[in-house]
């Protein structure tokens, strides 16, 4: 009888594989209200560590955290015309509160953009107040017709940064700093995910922005996922909310603003980028539990060795946990650890121990080898470093192998069935983009070949082929 | 001409003093929707550090974080009869979303109690799944008719713990562990606030609880503030949501649950406990900036000494920041630092420096003394430790001085005009409690004298004077 797979194989049904992993690794459940999610402790631990690592980078970039209210007067949203158009169909509205109908209904924030606009206008008066660099961690609501846990939920958690600057150049530089030094660095260094930085086309731009930059990652099925965006808003929001300042010459000026965000969607991206047919694979730097010391079968020496290894690993800076649930069959515990993607297991059993050994099981290479008890800490530390790199390399190779240089729109559309295509933007343009959108294929971003940049492409400052003849569209299906 | 006070003096108008401090120390603003607040970066930094210190203790008590949805079906709330009665008048209801009217309106969570109930029922099947110890950091909404920033806002931030246990004894012990080891320890150790632990009367108990325990602190005006609560819910919620398990004998049993919470209200408590007529006083362990190295007047040696002191202080583990805004008058910067309650300032100016000295300004004692440059780090470290203790001692002395042992209800009512009263519970009882409530005076908690307990009082296990004849009511006005 063939062994029953623990989760649906990816090749058979990728969306079902995704749902299976989320359920069986105990990451999340669907919430009682359609489109909402319950993030379970194991899933939350992933988000919590993402938050901490991202927050440290945001602070290092000089931004300060604050918190704006959940409820927004409807009138705020309509001040920036494109902004309200972008969000109208997704809004949730409170019409009844405190036991009676509200005179003016309030909107549950789809983003705090407009409230930041309003308050930045209050807080900024002089050029001395600039740049004003703010960030918020919060929940936001955008009613979803086709929800999918972590990827598209009616409520999601995110950080949204909002900054005001005295000059366009300063705003522009800061939006790029967030894109590269904060977001891309976090994704590569902590999530072990290769991300491509590019510029959104007009069609895909954030409502109200003059420029949206994005980081795109390839998932296990060849589709793209937008992992984060950084927007230049020009003076649009500053004008709508009157964010002004007196410059050094005592002249009144409008500020230049930016906004940027990443969300719990990254958890979905992590799953779909690194997961395999045995379940999750958590990048070692992100894992709440990096090493699980497993008592295969209890015995006095087994128990004491396991305890000793736990303290040695903790002393070596490894986040370690003991699995002594010997009343649960060993096989089930092993499957559970695989499902949850714990990077390393140290299995301690009587037979190995008689030879002075334990077994080191590594999730990423899928290896299983004996290690002398005295060498465990050192071996685990080097395995964690190697496996972070291995995950990154594997994802990068998959992306490169599934990316095609297309010479025509048809070729690009073909390639987008299984991966990404690079297509000269001049062969596509706004019209071509609208046409392929009908087939569910979008321009993920525009890039420009540049041998001096790591990865070989840079983020263009324009979408005009007259200025940048080598503008290249990354074309794909996307989540 | 008398010096104009920076904030309204407390003795003149305490509520206005509170508002002035919040505005001038840039802690928060009123949000655009009535009853909501905008927490500014300086206020947020306080909450963020509170969260981190509390979260570490919650994790040490074995609870895991998770996240439940903002939106709750209305039907959930009505499952526990007392619970829905408790919240009905405060609910905010979304009736319109995604461009149309909802078939079933959804409630914005006033607490996630009921959703925890629903999902714990799914997650618990066997005694092996118990205890289940969960916590969530989230925003909740309770529509406020008389809002006051941080103390009573329509939206506030909090943590809510929810646990399920196999036995009443285990649930009871855990609710007490949270009260003492997590909450009281956090408030004393991090916030430098003396808190009195006690039991709520039936009247003041959380809707649906069998026992509510509380931590009460005295504010600068003698009123009480409830800083946190821990509830035993008996089997009420387990019955309503069917949280059951099979015990070791394969018998189906109902679980025993607890819940416990603390919120952004603690920020208000911190302000009103430690603040003085010059503004905030932040307890040193909580302060995001513990020491501010201030360049009084720029000069090459001043600037280099200041930079050197910043690195020495950082190396000594002090959270230090440089104030080199020499284009802002020194006096204004000093007033701002006082307002914000930064524990220690190290003022570096040319005159002192000529003698090899700088000036150490301590916010808590209000002292100002010369210190030799080489001794700054050591002096600051010991000042921070001493000033934490001084804040705690001052608050405790104020509370003790303003607490009266009352021999009658009239005496207690009198005492509650300016502070707290201790009154034998048998002299008051349910009826007496209802009567004084008409005068705005409440029983904050019941305690029992016990010389073996630090502080001299323990938390009673009952509100029955027949069982505990020495039951003592703490009677006060409260926020």
- pLDDT tens profile A43-76: 999 999 999 999 999 999 999 999 999 999 988 8
- Does a cis peptide bond (omega within 30 degrees of 0) precede residue B246? no
Mean pLDDT confidence for B82-104: 88
Residue B53 burial (C-beta neighbours within 10 Å; 0-12, 13-18, 19+): middle
**Domain annotation covers residue A419:** yes
Mean pLDDT confidence for B103-115: 94
What's the CATH number where B111 sits? Answer: 3.30.930.10
Among candidates B152, B258, B267, which has minimal Cα distance to B217? B267
B76 vs A341, B119, B411, CA distance in Å?
A: 35, 12, 45
B108·A105 Cβ contact <8 A: no
Residues B450 and B307 in one domain: no
Identify whether the C-beta of residue A172 lies closer than 8 Å to the C-beta of residue A210. no
Q: For position B82, what pLDDT does the model report?
A: 78
Residues A89 and A210 in one domain: yes
Of B99, B118, B157, the CB nearest to A32: B118
Residues A166 and A259 in one domain: yes
Identify whether the C-beta of residue B127 lies closer than 8 Å to the C-beta of residue B247. yes
Residue B38 to chain A, least CA–CA distance (Å) = 5
Residues B363 and B217 in one domain: no
From the candidates A73, A89, A94, A102, which should be mutated to test the interface with B, based on the most B CB atoms within 10 A? Answer: A94
What's the CATH number where A302 sits? Answer: 3.40.50.800
Separation CA B187–CA B378 (nearest Å): 26
Residue A65 to chain B, least CA–CA distance (Å) = 6
> Would you state the structure tokens that stand for residue A44, as one six-digit string?
């939350």
Model confidence at A296, pLDDT cuts 50, 70, 90, reads very high
Q: Is the pLDDT of residue A280 over 60?
A: yes
Of B37, B70, B105, the CB nearest to A139: B70
Q: Beta strand pairing status for A256-263 and B252-254? A: unpaired
Q: For position A89, what pLDDT does the model report?
A: 84
Residues A40 and A131 in one domain: yes
Residues A87 and A186 in one domain: yes
pLDDT per residue as tens digits for the range B152-209: 999 999 999 999 999 999 999 999 999 999 999 999 999 999 999 999 999 999 988 9
The pTM of the full predicted model, rounded to 2 decimals, is 0.96
Identify whether the C-beta of residue B318 lies closer than 8 Å to the C-beta of residue B284. no
**Domain annotation covers residue A334:** yes
B64·A73 Cβ contact <8 A: no
Residues B158 and B191 in one domain: yes
Mean pLDDT confidence for B359-376: 97
> Would you state the structure tokens that stand for residue A192, as one six-digit string?
């072990």
Of A88, A93, A97, the CB nearest to B143: A97
Q: Return the percentage of chain A with pLDDT > 70, whole number.
A: 99
> Helix, strand or coil for residue B451?
coil
What burial letters (b/e) apply to B98-129, b meaning 16+ CB within 10 Å?
beeebeebbbbbbbbbbbbbbbbbebbeebee
Residue A39, CA atoms < 13 Å, CB-side half-sphere:
27
Residue B31 to chain A, least CA–CA distance (Å) = 6
Of A33, A71, A327, the CB nearest to B73: A33
Mean pLDDT confidence for A100-105: 92
Please give the full DSSP string across A380-396, using - where no structure is assigned: HHHHHHHHHHHHHHHHH
**Domain annotation covers residue A397:** no
Considering only CB atoms, which chain B residues are within 8 Å of A66? 38-41, 43-44
Of B43, B76, B94, the CB nearest to A94: B94
Separation CA B47–CA B428 (nearest Å): 38
Q: For position A339, what pLDDT does the model report?
A: 98
Q: What is the dihedral of CA B4, B7, B10, B13, to 10 degrees?
A: 90
User: Which residue in chain A is spatially nearest to B143 when comparing CA positions?
Assistant: A98
User: Which residue in chain A is spatially nearest to B264 when comparing CA positions?
Assistant: A67
A45·B64 Cβ contact <8 A: yes
**Domain annotation covers residue B178:** yes
Model confidence at A402, pLDDT cuts 50, 70, 90, reads very high
Of B38, B118, B122, the CB nearest to A68: B38
User: Which residue in chain B is spatially nearest to A120 when comparing CA positions?
Assistant: B40
Q: Beta strand pairing status for B344-348 and B291-295? A: parallel
Among candidates A107, A154, A173, A109, which has minimal Cα distance to A136? A109
**Domain annotation covers residue B157:** yes
pLDDT per residue as tens digits for the range B137-165: 999 999 998 999 999 999 999 999 999 99
Separation CA A376–CA A311 (nearest Å): 11
Residue B339 to chain A, least CA–CA distance (Å) = 18
Residue A346 to chain B, least CA–CA distance (Å) = 23
Count chain A–chain B contacts defined by CB atoms under 8 A.
167
Identify whether the C-beta of residue B441 lies closer than 8 Å to the C-beta of residue B414. no
Last residue of a domain, one of A221, A245, A274: A274
Considering only CB atoms, which chain B residues are within 8 Å of A267? none
pLDDT per residue as tens digits for the range B249-290: 999 999 999 999 999 999 999 999 999 999 999 999 999 999
User: Which residue in chain B is spatially nearest to A66 when comparing CA positions?
Assistant: B41
Considering only CB atoms, which chain B residues are within 8 Å of A157? 67
**Domain annotation covers residue A370:** yes
Model confidence at A3, pLDDT cuts 50, 70, 90, reads low
A31·B68 Cβ contact <8 A: yes
Region for residue B250 given its phi and psi (left: phi exceeds 0; alpha: psi -120 to 50; beta: otherwise): left
Q: What is the mean pLDDT of chain B?
A: 96
Q: What is the end-to-end Cα distance of chain B in Å, rounded? A: 37
Identify whether the C-beta of residue A40 lies closer than 8 Å to the C-beta of residue A288. no
Separation CA A45–CA A47 (nearest Å): 6
> Would you state the structure tokens that stand for residue A85, as one six-digit string?
């158009």
Among candidates A146, A102, A431, A351, which has minimal Cα distance to B108? A102
Last residue of a domain, one of A218, A247, A274: A274
Element (H, E) at B220: none
B148 vs A96, B31, B454, CA distance in Å?
A: 21, 11, 33
User: Which residue in chain B is spatially nearest to A328 when comparing CA positions?
Assistant: B128
> Would you state the structure tokens that stand for residue B208, as one six-digit string?
């649906």
Q: Is the pLDDT of residue B5 over 90?
A: no
Which DSSP symbol is given to A180? I
Residue B144 to chain A, least CA–CA distance (Å) = 7
Residues B213 and B295 in one domain: no
Among candidates A282, A265, A275, which has minimal Cα distance to A216? A265
> Would you state the structure tokens that stand for residue B267, as one six-digit string?
């920020």
Considering only CB atoms, which chain B residues are within 8 Å of A241? none
Q: How long a stretch of residues is chain A?
A: 479
A94·B92 Cβ contact <8 A: yes
Return the number of other C-beta atoms located less than 10 Å from residue B382's C-beta.
Answer: 10
Separation CA A95–CA A220 (nearest Å): 43
Model confidence at B1, pLDDT cuts 50, 70, 90, reads very low
Considering only CB atoms, which chain A residues are within 8 Å of B32? 69, 72-73, 76, 115, 118
Give all strands (DSSP E) within B148-288, no chain letters.
155-165, 196-199, 211-218, 224-232, 244-246, 252-254, 256-263
pLDDT per residue as tens digits for the range A132-177: 999 999 999 999 989 999 999 999 999 999 999 999 999 999 999 9
Mean pLDDT confidence for A451-475: 95
Give all strands (DSSP E) within A192-249, no chain letters.
196-199, 211-218, 224-232, 244-246
Return the number of other C-beta atoms located less than 10 Å from residue A430's C-beta.
Answer: 13
Report the domain count for chain A: 3
Considering only CB atoms, which chain A residues are within 8 Å of B41? 64-66, 134
Considering only CB atoms, which chain A residues are within 8 Å of B70? 36, 70, 108, 139, 141, 155
B92·A88 Cβ contact <8 A: no
Q: For position A33, what pLDDT does the model report?
A: 95
Model confidence at B83, pLDDT cuts 50, 70, 90, reads confident
Query: Cβ neighbours of residue A139 under 8 Å, at least 6 residues apart?
Result: A70, A155, A156, A157, A158, B70, B138, B139
Last residue of a domain, one of B274, B306, B335: B274
Sheet strand arrangement including B367-372: B320-323, B291-295, B344-348, B357-362, B367-372
Q: For position B2, what pLDDT does the model report?
A: 52
Domain boundaries, position A319 = 291-386
From the candidates B98, B129, B155, which should be mutated to test the interface with A, based on the most A CB atoms within 10 A? Answer: B98
From the candidates B30, B33, B65, B267, which should be mutated to test the interface with A, based on the most A CB atoms within 10 A? Answer: B33
Element (H, E) at A239: helix A236-241
B69·A36 Cβ contact <8 A: yes
Identify whether the C-beta of residue A345 lies closer than 8 Å to the C-beta of residue A290. no
Residues A427 and A353 in one domain: no
Residue A73 to chain B, least CA–CA distance (Å) = 6
User: Which residue in chain B is spatially nearest to A41 when comparing CA positions?
Assistant: B66
Residues B131 and B247 in one domain: yes
Residue B368 burial (C-beta neighbours within 10 Å; 0-12, 13-18, 19+): exposed
Of B98, B141, B157, the CB nearest to A90: B98
Identify whether the C-beta of residue A468 lies closer than 8 Å to the C-beta of residue A458. no
Considering only CB atoms, which chain B residues are within 8 Å of A99? 88-89, 91, 143
> Would you state the structure tokens that stand for residue B369, as one six-digit string?
């003394």
Identify whether the C-beta of residue A195 lies closer than 8 Å to the C-beta of residue A188. yes
Among candidates B467, B388, B461, B471, which has minimal Cα distance to B432? B471
Of B29, B65, B119, the CB nearest to A119: B29
B139·A141 Cβ contact <8 A: no
**Domain annotation covers residue B2:** no
Separation CA A184–CA A206 (nearest Å): 19
B32·A73 Cβ contact <8 A: yes
Q: Is the pLDDT of residue B80 over 80?
A: no
Residue B179 to chain A, least CA–CA distance (Å) = 23
Identify whether the C-beta of residue B212 lies closer than 8 Å to the C-beta of residue B206. yes
Residues B364 and B420 in one domain: no
Residue matched to tokens 């918190």: A67
Separation CA B457–CA B450 (nearest Å): 5
Residues B440 and B368 in one domain: no
User: Which residue in chain A is spatially nearest to B30 when comparing CA positions?
Assistant: A69
Q: For position A2, what pLDDT does the model report?
A: 52
- Does a cis peptide bond (omega within 30 degrees of 0) precede residue B463? no
User: Which residue in chain B is spatially nearest to A70 when comparing CA positions?
Assistant: B155
Of B43, B47, B73, the CB nearest to A32: B73
B33·A73 Cβ contact <8 A: yes
Mean pLDDT confidence for A408-414: 97
What burial letters (b/e) apply to B178-192, b meaning 16+ CB within 10 Å?
bbeebbbbbbbbbbb
Residue A210 to chain B, least CA–CA distance (Å) = 27
A94·B108 Cβ contact <8 A: yes
Residue A91 to chain B, least CA–CA distance (Å) = 6
Separation CA A154–CA B274 (nearest Å): 42
Q: Return the percentage of chain A with pLDDT > 90, whole number.
A: 94
**Domain annotation covers residue B269:** yes
B68·A154 Cβ contact <8 A: no
Residue A13 to chain B, least CA–CA distance (Å) = 27
Among candidates B387, B279, B382, which has minimal Cα distance to B42? B279
Residue B166 to chain A, least CA–CA distance (Å) = 19
Model confidence at A5, pLDDT cuts 50, 70, 90, reads confident
Q: What is the mean pLDDT of chain A?
A: 96
């Amino acid at each position: 009888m063939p062994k029953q797979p623990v989760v649906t194989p990816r090749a058979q049904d990728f969306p079902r594989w995704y749902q299976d992993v989320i359920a069986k690794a105990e990451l999340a459940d669907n919430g009682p209200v359609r489109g909402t999610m319950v993030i379970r402790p194991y899933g939350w631990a992933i988000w919590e560590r993402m938050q901490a690592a991202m927050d440290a980078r945001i602070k290092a970039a000089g931004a300060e955290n604050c918190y704006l209210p959940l409820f927004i007067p409807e009138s705020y949203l309509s001040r920036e015309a494109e902004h309200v158009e972008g969000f109208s169909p997704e809004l949730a509205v409170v019409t009844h509160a405190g036991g009676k109908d509200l005179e003016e209904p309030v909107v549950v924030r789809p983003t705090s953009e407009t409230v930041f606009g309003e308050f930045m206008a209050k807080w900024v008066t002089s050029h001395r107040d600039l740049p004003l660099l703010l960030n918020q961690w919060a929940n936001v609501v955008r009613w979803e017709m086709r929800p999918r846990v972590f990827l598209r939920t009616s409520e999601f958690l995110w950080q949204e940064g909002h900054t005001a600057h005295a000059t366009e150049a300063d705003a522009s530089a800061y939006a790029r700093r967030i894109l590269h030094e904060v977001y891309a660095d976090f994704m590569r260094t902590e999530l072990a995910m290769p991300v491509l930085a590019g510029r959104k086309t007009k069609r895909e731009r954030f409502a109200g922005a003059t420029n949206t930059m994005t980081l795109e990652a390839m998932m296990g099925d060849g589709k793209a996922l937008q992992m984060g965006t950084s927007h230049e808003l020009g003076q649009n929001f500053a004008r709508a909310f009157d964010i002004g300042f007196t410059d050094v010459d005592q002249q009144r000026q409008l500020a230049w603003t930016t906004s940027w965000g990443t969300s719990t969607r990254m958890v979905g991206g992590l799953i779909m980028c690194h997961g395999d047919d045995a379940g999750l694979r958590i990048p070692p730097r992100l894992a709440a539990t990096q090493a699980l010391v497993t008592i295969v079968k209890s015995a006095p020496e087994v128990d004491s060795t396991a305890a000793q290894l736990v303290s040695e690993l903790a002393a070596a800076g490894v986040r370690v946990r003991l699995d002594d649930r010997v009343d649960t069959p060993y096989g089930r515990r092993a499957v559970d650890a695989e499902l949850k993607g714990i990077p390393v297991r140290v299995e301690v059993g009587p037979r190995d121990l008689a030879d002075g050994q334990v077994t080191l099981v590594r999730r990423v290479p899928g290896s299983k080898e004996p290690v002398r008890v005295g060498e465990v800490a050192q071996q685990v530390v080097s395995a964690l470093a190697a496996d972070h790199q291995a995950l990154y390399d594997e994802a990068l190779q998959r992306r490169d192998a599934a990316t095609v240089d297309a010479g025509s729109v048809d070729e690009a559309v073909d390639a987008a069935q299984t991966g990404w295509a690079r297509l000269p933007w001049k062969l596509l343009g706004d019209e071509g983009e609208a046409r392929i959108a009908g087939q569910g294929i979008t321009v993920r971003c525009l890039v420009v070949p540049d041998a001096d940049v790591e990865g070989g492409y840079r983020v263009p400052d324009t979408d005009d082929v007259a200025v940048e003849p080598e503008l290249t569209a990354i074309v794909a299906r996307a989540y």
